[in-house]
Amino acid sequence: MGETAISSEVDANGFTIVHVFEASREEVWAEWTTPESFADWFGGTASEVPVSTMTMDVRPGGAWAATMYAGPARHEIQWEGEYLELLEPTLLVLTLTDQPGEDPWPPITVVLDRSGRRTNGDALPSARWDVAGAVRARRRGLGHVL
């Protein structure tokens, strides 16, 4: 799955990241909702998320969890969250935190639409992350994840 463009906006309420992909919405949806795919990209190239540490109950009210080993020192990070809303393959709303047992950060809303464009004008799927309050995460040094 190839990325063709990335843009972002930051304001007082959080930030929005838009990725345009050379892939179907169904393929991008699978990247968010299957352990093997999610583990492959979550955290970027400097981190590892073993598939064996992933749990995903992809339904409203279902939980997800993953263990990440970040950076050269392989700092262990325990991630967890809850799926709040799902509309396959267009909408995914979930929470996340790296502090299990504490309140999660404000929800992340992932909108998969066809607003991206090739140079010939054909529509491409784009993933739009609207992260309310995620400036706090960025301040905590978690911008590499988001």
Domain extent listing, the chain? 2-139
Say what the pLDDT of residue 6 is.
Answer: 60
Say what the pLDDT of residue 35 is.
Answer: 95
End-to-end CA distance of the chain: 18
CATH class for the domain made up of 2-139: alpha beta
Q: Which residue, chain included where needed, has tokens 């190839």?
A: 2
CA-to-CA separations, 139 to 56, 72, 108, in angstroms, rounded: 27, 21, 17
Local mean pLDDT, 10-residue blocks, the chain (146 residues): 58 66 80 92 88 97 96 94 92 90 84 61 48 44 42
Say what the pLDDT of residue 62 is.
Answer: 98
Both tokens of 103, joined, read 């309140």
- Residue 118: partners with Cβ closer than 8 Å, 6 or more residues away: 4, 124
Both tokens of 104, joined, read 């999660």
If we measure between CA atoms, which residue out of 104, 102, 48 comes closest to residue 71?
48
Say what the pLDDT of residue 134 is.
Answer: 43
What is the C-alpha to C-alpha distance for residues 110 and 84, in angstroms, rounded to an integer? 12
Burial of 2 by CB count in 10 Å (0-12 exposed, 13-18 middle, 19+ buried)?
exposed
Amino acid at 133: G
